[in-house]
Amino acid sequence: MAMTEDELRASIKEKKAELAALEQLRDQSSALVAHLEAMKGKFGEIKEGTAVAADVLARWSELFALVAARDSHRLVLVPQPKAEAEDEA
């Protein structure tokens, strides 16, 4: 069954439209991949920043724990009276 010339032209026109749609899809896919790669980099930076912030907060927490422990074990120093011998010297 042979195609007529008009059917061939219609088929070629349809295939060209399909090709254009596929090329557009390829270009959009490439742009999406580039965008996702950029987002991956940004999330990596955020992750590193979050890890640093968590480390700083942990250190502050440790500092507060040390201060609290120091305050709970603080000795109250009461001045002792000087000996009379030291006053005369």
Asked whether residue 1 carries a pLDDT value surpassing 90, the answer given is: no
Which residues contact residue 11 at a Cβ distance below 8 angstroms, ignoring those fewer than 6 apart? 3
- pLDDT score at 61: 87
Compute the distance between CA of residue 63 and CA of residue 69 in angstroms, rounded to an integer: 10
- pLDDT score at 76: 56
| Interval 21-57: pLDDT, tens | 999 999 999 999 999 999 999 999 999 999 999 999 8
Compute the distance between CA of residue 55 and CA of residue 61 in angstroms, rounded to an integer: 10
Task: Quote the percentage of the chain above a pLDDT of 90.
Answer: 54
